Amino acid sequence: MKLIKKIAAIMFAFMMVVSMSTNVSAEGTNNGTITINNAVDGQTYTIYKLLDLESYTSDPGTDDGIYSYKPNKLWKNFIETAVDSASTNYFKINENGYATWNGDTTDSRKAEFAQKALAYAKDEAHPIAGDPRKKEEGKTLTFTNLSLGYYLVDSSVGTLCSLDTTKPAATIQEKNGVPSVDKIITSGGVVSADGKSNSASIGDTVNFKTTITAQPGAQNYVLHDKMTEGLTFDKNSINVSLHKKATNADETLVTNTDYNVETINLKDTDLKCTFHINFTQTLCNRLAADDTITVTYSATLNDKAVIGSTGNVNETKLNYGDSKETTESKTHTFTYDIPVFKYTMKDNVKTGLEHAKFTLSLNEDGANPIKFKESNENNKYIKDETGAITEVESPQDGKLTFEGLGAGTYYLTETKQPDGYNKLAKSVKIEMDANGTIKVDGKSTLESEESKRLVEVENKTGTVLPSTGGMGTTMIYLVGAVLVLGSGVVLATKRRVKNK
């Protein structure tokens, strides 16, 4: 499991250790243990010793016993000066240097103290090295051989919990979950039911929503977002809001107060992030269990978009603490092509036909044809709202392709037929679904892998009609010659008869 940069939340585990004897010196005693139940596999837990236990007694008149603490030398300045939101010191230090808790012991005040203590430990001005342990799968996480004292326990999963302070063997109960991130597409083209994908045309605006489910004790949340180059991010479209689960209240977060957006000088990764959103610690300190931060923004599908089933990916993750991060959440934006084959039948073979001209439109009558520009490949045209091409011509092999189109109904209109061929009587209706599957005039295309998406358009030759000259005149001449010849024969025959 992974989570946000320094979402370390803070578990404070205050541990004071006792023994069975009375008035015992604890100096030099190293038999303390801290066990974390339900520790999350792969997460790191770090302990810091704030106070040294000098002596204690198991006073039968008290439930917990009596303890004498002095600030650990690394923490002395913090313990003496740390104050709460009302400027009240968390500890009182008497004239002999002994420390006692001062003021309310509410969970919220203890959590506030723990957060400030952890921030002090990680401040570069006075770094304090804790004792980190990583939870291994199948093993119990236990800190052993600890000198007795008052401990702060920091968890990379953002858990706040309390300790039993009356036993040398203290146990922390891991009670809270880990932050999570989920990304969906809310609009833009045709969106899937789960919001994880959509089908869009080049030039369409795609709107995204990322939801962070927070946990208490968060520190320095950083949201990472990566888009493939087929999506152009609009920085001005970002909107961030917070929903407080306990009160069911919503509020709009303010840039530079609650968060800031970075788009330049980002870490060079493969694929490099498009933007980061850094949430302020002031905001993180306000987060309770299952509060949600919602980030909405948009991007435009551009002419570098991947055409086909691979899709154009947008992925998000949340980083925290010491290189911890959540599982990535991804969406896919698909755009497709419409391949066309213009042909005529010759000797019962489909033969490519050139010089047919077409437009592609969303209108059955061919009005307002879609604009294209030439692709890098011959006879391929990519959708471009500023393009100059609205009419395309079939090449010698009869094959051309329209690219960058989302799910929808299109009409292929023949504006000029090749010489000697009949013009199509109506537009060809092309229906394409969100998976890129094509139907032509309500019928599925051929099922072979090579041609199952191919839009085949046939042109037939015109009918040959009889002419009014030529053969008709020849026949008259032939008939006339036969009649003349016949008349001559008859006349000759009559003369012979007469002479006899």
Amino acid at 78: F
- Fold entry, domain 180-241+268-334: Immunoglobulin-like (2.60.40)
The distance between the two most distant Cα atoms of the chain, rounded to a whole number of Å, is 178
Same fold, 180-241+268-334 and 336-458: yes
Collapsing DSSP to helix, strand or coil, 77 comes out as helix
The pTM score is 0.70
Q: Exposed, middle or buried: residue 8 (CB in 10 Å: 0-12, 13-18, 19+)? A: buried
Whole-number CA gyration radius for the chain: 41
Tens digits of pLDDT across the chain (500 residues):
333 333 333 333 333 222 222 233 445 566 788 888 878 787 788 888 898 888 766 655 555 567 788 999 999 999 999 999 899 999 999 999 999 999 988 877 887 788 788 889 888 888 788 888 888 888 888 888 888 888 888 876 544 333 334 357 777 766 556 789 999 999 999 999 999 999 999 999 999 999 999 987 777 799 999 999 999 999 999 999 999 999 999 999 999 999 999 998 787 666 789 999 999 988 988 888 899 999 999 999 999 999 998 999 999 999 876 667 888 999 999 999 999 999 999 999 999 999 999 999 999 999 999 999 999 899 999 999 999 999 999 999 999 999 999 999 999 999 999 999 999 999 999 999 999 999 999 887 755 444 568 999 999 886 545 555 545 555 555 556 666 666 666 666 666 655 65
Domain ranges within the chain, ordered by starting residue = 9-173, 180-241+268-334, 336-458
User: What b/e readout covers 132-154, taking b as 16+ CB neighbours within 10 angstroms?
Assistant: ebebeeeeebebeebbbbbbbbb
Asked if residue 181 lies in contact with residue 198, where contact means CB atoms within 8 angstroms, the answer is no
Q: Which residues contact 8 (CB under 8 A, 6 or more apart)?
A: 118, 154, 155, 156, 158, 217, 219, 320, 321
- Fold entry, domain 336-458: Immunoglobulin-like (2.60.40)
Give how far Cα 500 sits from Cα of 489, 490, 491, 496, Å: 17, 16, 15, 7
C-alpha 472/C-alpha 430 separation (Å) is 48
